[in-house]
Amino acid sequence: MDYRAKVDAVREQIARSCERSGRRQEDVLVIGVSKYVGVEETRSLIAAGIDHLGENRVQSAVPKISQIAEPVIWHFIGNLQTNKVKDILPLFAWIHSLDRLSLAKELQKQADKMDRVVNCLVQVNVSGEQSKSGLAIADTAPFLEQLRGLERIRVKGLMTMAPLVKDAEEVRPVFRRLRELRDSLLDDHPDLLHLSMGMSADFAVAVEEGATMVRLGSILMKP
């Protein structure tokens, strides 16, 4: 697989979205979601210039990451069970799916044992779909207040997953809403700089609406 060509094509699309919205391309981080492929292909993706990688399952991520020596930064992007925190924390620098206090407390506890901090994004269910995890928009500010005492947790932004639609334009309001929510919280939470939003089908629109992290799997991985 020619990962280099795929990475270049994605960066080109991001550049165009940035141009359209007056943003800078270097403010958009590409996270390669390697959940579809094994160790060798993940390595090829890294060799093609992807140095931030995302995984959504503890079971498959842990053995894979243990076999990858390259100095990449790992992002946990899936639902996280509280009892799995101690398994993943040694491997991941970022957690995109912080959505409840019990999880935050366990992250605090395990990060404290490791004497480190953990970068977190609070997952928001903007679309309100039953099938999606994440906090309701109205619950986000109170949740951030609850996290204040947990000094090992660095809340760096918000994350959302948009509904699957045929035309990405349909989910533009979802991305815009997450940005507006973030903007409304910035006075009280000035570290809330990141917006993790946009996947293979909709990242161009997400970037136009302010995404600072796009999570790209199939567009990079599939032939």
Binding of ligand PLP at residue 194 (CB under 6 A)?
no
171 φ/ψ angles, rounded to the nearest 5 degrees: -100, 5
Binding of ligand PLP at residue 199 (CB under 6 A)?
yes
Give the tokens for residue 44: 């090829």
Residues 101-140 that bind ligand PLP (CB under 6 A): none
Shortest Å distance, C-beta 25 to ligand PLP: 19
Binding of ligand PLP at residue 33 (CB under 6 A)?
yes
Q: Do 43 and 70 meet the contact criterion of CB atoms below 8 Å apart?
A: yes
Give the tokens for residue 121: 């994004």
Q: Do 218 and 202 meet the contact criterion of CB atoms below 8 Å apart?
A: no
| Contact range with ligand PLP by CB under 6 A, out of 62-70, 86-94, 100-108, 194-202 | 194-202
DSSP string, 72-121: -EEEE-S---GGGHHHHTTT-SEEEEE--HHHHHHHHHHHHHTT--EEEE
Q: How many helices (H) and strands (E) does the chain have?
A: 9, 8
97 φ/ψ angles, rounded to the nearest 5 degrees: -125, 35
| Contact range with ligand PLP by CB under 6 A, out of 16-24, 80-88, 148-156, 199-207 | 199-207
Binding of ligand PLP at residue 56 (CB under 6 A)?
yes
Rounded Cα–Cα distance for residues 36 and 13 (Å): 22
Residue number with CB closer to ligand PLP (95 or 161): 161
Rounded Cα–Cα distance for residues 126 and 178 (Å): 7
Q: Which of 155, 161, 197, 211 binds ligand PLP (CB under 6 A)?
A: 161
153 forms beta bridges with: 118
Shortest Å distance, C-beta 56 to ligand PLP: 4
Residue number with CB closer to ligand PLP (109 or 127): 127
Residue number with CB closer to ligand PLP (95 or 181): 95
Binding of ligand PLP at residue 32 (CB under 6 A)?
no
User: How far does Cα 128 stand from its chain's mean position?
Assistant: 19
* Size of site (CB under 6 A) for ligand PLP: 14
Binding of ligand PLP at residue 75 (CB under 6 A)?
no
Shortest Å distance, C-beta 212 to ligand PLP: 15
Binding of ligand PLP at residue 218 (CB under 6 A)?
yes
The residue ranges that bind ligand PLP (CB under 6 A) are 33, 35, 56, 77-78, 161, 199-201, 215-219
